[in-house]
Amino acid sequence: MINTDSKLHADGGVVLHVENKGSATAEIYKVEILSAGTANINSAKTMSPGAEATIEATVQNAQLVAGTTYVARVYTRAGNVYPITLRAEA
C-alpha cells in the first residue's frame, strides 16, 4: 500500500511512503509516473510483512506541471502493481 502522504515534485522527484500489508515479503523494484517515465531506484527495496519504508526516486528529465495530478505506480517482483494519484508540487 502507498500512503497518501507521499510526494511528487515537479522536477521528477518522488518520495513514497509504503507499507507491506500482505503476508509475504515484497520486493519493490520499480516506480513509474504515468506520462513522465520510470523513476530510478538505486536498489530494490525488500519489505517484510507489516514493514513500512520510504522510497525516494527521480524520473530523469521529467517536466511535470505543479498542481497537475499524476498516477504513480509501484511494481513488485511478484507482479503486483500499486497505483496512487499524486499532485505534483513545485
Over residues 5-35, the pLDDT tens digits come to: 999 999 999 999 999 999 999 999 999 999 8
- Domain at 60, CATH number: 2.60.40.1890
Strand 69-76 and strand 81-89: the pairing is antiparallel
Q: Is the pLDDT of residue 81 over 80?
A: yes
Strand partners, 16: 55
pLDDT tens string 36-52? 999 878 789 999 999 99
Tell me which residue range forms the domain holding 69.
7-89
Cα-based torsion angle of the residue sequence 37, 41, 80, 20 in order, rounded to the nearest 10 degrees: -130
CA 53/CA 2 separation, integer angstroms: 10
1 inside domain: no
pTM here is 0.89
Q: Could you say which DSSP state residue 2 is in?
A: B
Q: What is the mean pLDDT of residues 58-66?
A: 91
2 inside domain: no
pLDDT for position 41: 84
Q: Indicate if the alpha-carbon torsion angle 33, 37, 38, 40 is positive or negative.
A: negative
Q: Count of domains in the chain? A: 1
